[in-house]
Amino acid sequence: MVLLSAQAMDVSEIARVTFTSEDRVRDVLHNFNLDGFDSLYPRYAGGRPPTFTLAQRREVRQLALSRPVDHDLPFSTWSLAKLADFLVAEGVVDDISHEGLRVLLREEGVSFQRLKTWKQSADPDFEAKKNRILHLYGLMDGTHDVEPGDPEVVICVDEFGPLNLQPHPGRLGSPRWWRRPTPAAAPGDLHPPPRRAPPAGGL
């Protein structure tokens, strides 16, 4: 519409060419005169508003990363159904579907997968240390509020064990002299060319 207006076309003619109303053409041209090219890329904010608050999202993420046994539950791993029921029972949310919970966890960076093994720490202070580390991570990510005594700088140090070479199936590179056999190729064409003898007297 803006390009057509620059070609000296009036509003009625632009509306007829673009199959829209004259009011729509006037709105587009008016917005372009005010905001320039930024008006051509509007930021639509339609759709359903967010269902959960930031505090609810933080609590859902924290519960998803915790162990069910820490809440006196008779199972060792979460499922979407069990976690959704627990969130409603604890009053964290009024209602949440399994797919809605999956989407929320994905947005919060939690990969909700079935666990194959679980290693339990024998440290009696494991839970307090774990929550402290998660809180420090949250400070750096901006998802946790700063509390009195929290550091301004957090340095993460991780111990990485020895690496073991693991074979994986795949393709290997082939020498340049290799060529795929063709119907007219002789059997000797599939072997590398013989080395040439050095010229006499060259050594």
pLDDT of residue 12: 87
Lowest mean per-residue pLDDT among 64-68, 139-143, 148-152, 182-186: 182-186
The 3-class secondary structure across 133-193, one letter per residue, is HHHHHHHHHCCCCCCCCCCCCCCCCCCCCCCCCCCCCCCCCCCCCCCCCCCCCCHHHHCCC
- Element spanning 126, H or E: helix 126-141
Q: Which of 40, 35, 13, 15 is nearest to 25 (CA)?
A: 15
Residue 48 is classified by DSSP as P
Q: Are 87 and 60 in contact (CB under 8 A)?
A: yes
Residue 116 binned pLDDT confidence (cut-offs 50, 70, 90): very low
pLDDT of residue 131: 84
pLDDT of residue 33: 82
Residue 192 binned pLDDT confidence (cut-offs 50, 70, 90): low
Burial code of 74-90, b = ≥16 C-beta within 10 A, e = fewer?
A: eeeebebeebbebbeee
pTM for the complete prediction?
A: 0.40
Q: Which of 9, 111, 14, 99 is nearest to 64 (CA)?
A: 111
All residues at 6 or more sequence positions from 80 whose CB lies less than 8 Å from its CB, including other chains: 98, 101, 102, 112
- Element spanning 32, H or E: helix 22-35
Instruction: Give me the amino acid identity at 198.
Output: P
The two tokens of residue 20 are: 């829209």
Contacts 24+ apart (CB under 8 A), 169-175: none
The 3-state DSSP class for residue 203 equals coil
Rg (CA), the chain: 33
Average pLDDT over residues 100-120: 73
C-beta atoms surrounding 69 within 10 Å: 13
pLDDT of residue 168: 60
